[in-house]
């Protein structure tokens, strides 16, 4: 009888060899437990922990996972009425909360550095009939990258991620059973550095203990960490990673974000990728995405220009970017409002879009300008020429963030769009404004026909329904700050 992986069409000879090889490795390393993990809509890892002896079978037959995990908003409430007639009419296969099946990639195995004798595997969900769950966000990016490959390109991404690390005062009130709630209270914390002294070595020294944990965790997981830095805000830090292909970069972001939170928690720290932690005088955290396209055949950076286009100056995209690079840039601008909710998906993140805050306010690009939404970096003949999108928050689901860039950029290429002149005054009121709330951003997505078609209208309807649940609860909250403390600071 065929295995579930065979019925899904993924169990070839190479995968079977990898399954057996992993089985031997688990025995040789003395691994006792393996976490089979899947990335949910909000970029958070979920899954089950198996004893090592059960892993090989799970790689062939799958692991059951309740399907409502795909229907949760940020509070873990199910946004669809799965037990009511018609409640999942737009979501075939989800009615009455059946199981999905997780199939892990045996090549993704990691030995977890912060917990003894424990391993980790990345998985994706399948329906029990062997069909892929197309709403899975990693598949959304895989489809976008396949479309990019059909056009002859691959995508290269570099991650520059700001976040906050705090010292836990104690486990209370989160673990006090008398205070349990849905969501529960946020942890009580203190700063690891006082801030407002950007890149100060003295502040780095204060924060070195948790940053060492971040360093050792990332490196033990094989993540291409380049630097750790003290940012401007109190307790704010930044991690920068070497550029990789887009799918690897997205996988790395999911693993990094979840791993450092767990490793730091065990050492008495709380890491949050919430954009604006719930304290006075904080600085917003951004996730700056560096991106370029490569020729799939030669590996050449197709954004690179050898010489400025005649008659241009630095305010023209064609002075720095190739014609294709300009089209991609223009596509990002054309769909900026529609893509915003994939880049900044929480109600909290929109507080970052403020003037003179190194964060964008308007749909503008600039030549090496950190106030603009899109920053063009590089020069003629520079193989590292790229576009930096500064609209993202660090809590974003990377698969959706990246997919939005691919779809917007490809539309710019397909239509041969031209970019407007670069800005040198990003906060002067020029350019179309970015959405100012989660509700506005969802409306902008629904109004963008190109992105709706590219992501698939079924996915957009599903995503919008879940994010509207979050937005409605935020608008109804008696205390919006407490809502954000519980909903984002404690969980993200």
Query: What is the spatial distance between Cα 450 and Cα 442, in angstroms, rounded to a whole number?
Result: 15
Mean predicted lDDT score pLDDT of the chain: 95
Maximal CA-CA distance, the chain? 71
- Tokens matching residue 72: 């949760």
CA 90 → CA 94, 177, 305, 465, 479, distances in Å? 9, 38, 46, 11, 33
Q: How far is CA 260 from the centre of its chain?
A: 15
Domains of the chain: 4-133 (3.10.20.70), 144-489 (3.30.590.10)
CA 481 → CA 212, 347, 474, distances in Å? 31, 11, 10
- Is residue 448 very low, low, confident or very high in pLDDT (cuts 50, 70, 90)? very high
- Predicted local distance difference test score (pLDDT) of residue 369: 87
- Predicted local distance difference test score (pLDDT) of residue 356: 81
- Predicted local distance difference test score (pLDDT) of residue 170: 77
- Predicted local distance difference test score (pLDDT) of residue 172: 66
CB neighbours (10 Å) of residue 416?
11
The mean per-residue pLDDT over the stretch 157-163 comes to 96
- Predicted local distance difference test score (pLDDT) of residue 140: 98
Does position 146 have pLDDT exceeding 80, yes or no?
yes
The Cβ-side half-sphere exposure at 392, using a 13 Å CA radius, reads 26
| DSSP H helices in 335-396 | 336-343
Does position 175 have pLDDT exceeding 90, yes or no?
no
| DSSP H helices in 67-173 | 137-150
Summarize pLDDT for 215-268 with one digit per residue, the tens.
999 999 999 999 999 999 999 999 999 999 999 999 999 999 999 999 999 999
- Predicted local distance difference test score (pLDDT) of residue 173: 63
Question: Beta strand 189-191 with 153-168: parallel, antiparallel or unpaired?
Answer: antiparallel
Residue pair 338/331 in contact by the 8 Å Cβ criterion:
no
- Predicted local distance difference test score (pLDDT) of residue 430: 84
Residue partners of 180: CB distance under 8 A and separation at least 6: none
Summarize pLDDT for 97-115 with one digit per residue, the tens.
889 999 999 999 999 999 9
Does position 144 have pLDDT exceeding 70, yes or no?
yes
Helix (H) / strand (E) containing 247: helix 246-266
CB neighbours (10 Å) of residue 397?
25
- Predicted local distance difference test score (pLDDT) of residue 5: 96
Summarize pLDDT for 33-84 with one digit per residue, the tens.
999 999 999 999 999 999 999 999 999 999 999 999 999 999 999 999 989 9
Summarize pLDDT for 377-416 with one digit per residue, the tens.
999 999 999 999 999 999 999 999 999 999 999 999 999 9
Query: What is the spatial distance between Cα 441 and Cα 439, in angstroms, rounded to a whole number?
Result: 5
Query: What is the spatial distance between Cα 358 and Cα 335, in angstroms, rounded to a whole number?
Result: 21
Summarize pLDDT for 110-140 with one digit per residue, the tens.
999 999 999 999 999 999 999 999 999 999 9
- Tokens matching residue 379: 């020069």
Does position 171 have pLDDT exceeding 70, yes or no?
no
Q: Which of 441, 67, 107, 488 is nearest to 284 (CA)?
A: 488
Summarize pLDDT for 72-94 with one digit per residue, the tens.
999 999 999 989 988 888 898 89
Summarize pLDDT for 283-326 with one digit per residue, the tens.
999 999 999 999 999 999 999 999 999 989 999 999 999 999 99
């Amino acid at each position: 009888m065929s295995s579930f992986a065979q019925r899904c069409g993924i169990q070839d000879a190479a995968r079977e060899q990898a399954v057996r090889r992993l089985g031997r490795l688990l025995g040789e390393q003395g691994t006792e437990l393996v976490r089979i993990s899947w990335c949910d809509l909000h970029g958070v890892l979920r899954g089950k922990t198996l004893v090592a002896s059960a892993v090989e079978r799970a790689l062939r037959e799958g692991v059951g996972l309740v399907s409502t995990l795909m229907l949760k908003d940020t509070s873990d409430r199910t946004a669809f009425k799965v037990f009511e007639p018609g409640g999942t009419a737009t979501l075939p296969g989800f009615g009455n909360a059946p199981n999905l099946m997780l199939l892990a990639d045996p090549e993704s195995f990691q030995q977890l550095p912060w917990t003894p004798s424990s391993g980790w595997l990345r998985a994706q969900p399948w329906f029990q009939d062997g069909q892929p769950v197309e709403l899975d966000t990693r598949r959304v990016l895989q489809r976008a990258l396949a479309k990019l490959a059909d056009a002859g390109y691959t995508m290269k991404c570099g991650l520059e991620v700001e976040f906050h690390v705090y010292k836990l005062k104690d486990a209370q009130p989160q673990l006090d059973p008398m205070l349990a709630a849905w969501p529960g209270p946020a942890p009580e914390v203190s700063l690891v550095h006082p801030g407002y002294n950007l890149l100060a070595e003295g502040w780095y020294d204060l924060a070195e203990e948790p940053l060492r944990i971040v360093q050792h965790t990332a490196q033990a997981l094989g993540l291409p960490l380049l630097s750790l830095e003290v940012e401007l805000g109190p307790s704010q830090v930044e991690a920068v990673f070497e550029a990789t292909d887009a799918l690897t970069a997205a996988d790395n972001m999911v693993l990094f974000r979840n791993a450092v939170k767990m490793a730091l928690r065990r050492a008495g720290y709380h890491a949050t990728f919430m954009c604006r932690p719930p304290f006075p005088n904080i600085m917003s955290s951004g996730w700056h995405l560096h991106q370029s396209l490569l020729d799939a055949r030669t590996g050449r950076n197709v954004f690179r220009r050898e010489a400025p286009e005649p008659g241009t100056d630095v305010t023209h995209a064609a002075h720095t970017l190739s014609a294709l690079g300009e089209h991609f840039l223009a596509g990002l601008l054309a769909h900026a409002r529609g893509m915003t909710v994939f880049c900044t998906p929480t109600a909290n993140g929109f507080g970052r879009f403020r003037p003179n805050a190194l964060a964008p306010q308007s749909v503008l690009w600039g030549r090496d300008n950190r106030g603009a939404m899109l920053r063009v970096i590089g020069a003629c003949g520079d193989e590292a020429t790229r576009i930096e999108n500064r609209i993202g928050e660090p809590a974003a689901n990377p698969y959706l963030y990246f997919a939005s860039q691919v779809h917007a950029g490809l539309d710019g290429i397909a239509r041969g769009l031209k970019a407007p002149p670069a800005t040198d005054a990003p906060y002067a009121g020029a350019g179309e404004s970015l959405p100012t709330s989660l509700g506005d951003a969802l409306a902008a997505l629904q109004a963008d026909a190109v992105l709706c078609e590219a992501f698939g209208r079924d996915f957009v309807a599903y995503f919008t329904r879940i994010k509207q649940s979050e937005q409605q609860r935020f608008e109804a909250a008696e205390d919006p700050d407490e809502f954000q403390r519980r909903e984002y600071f404690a969980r993200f």
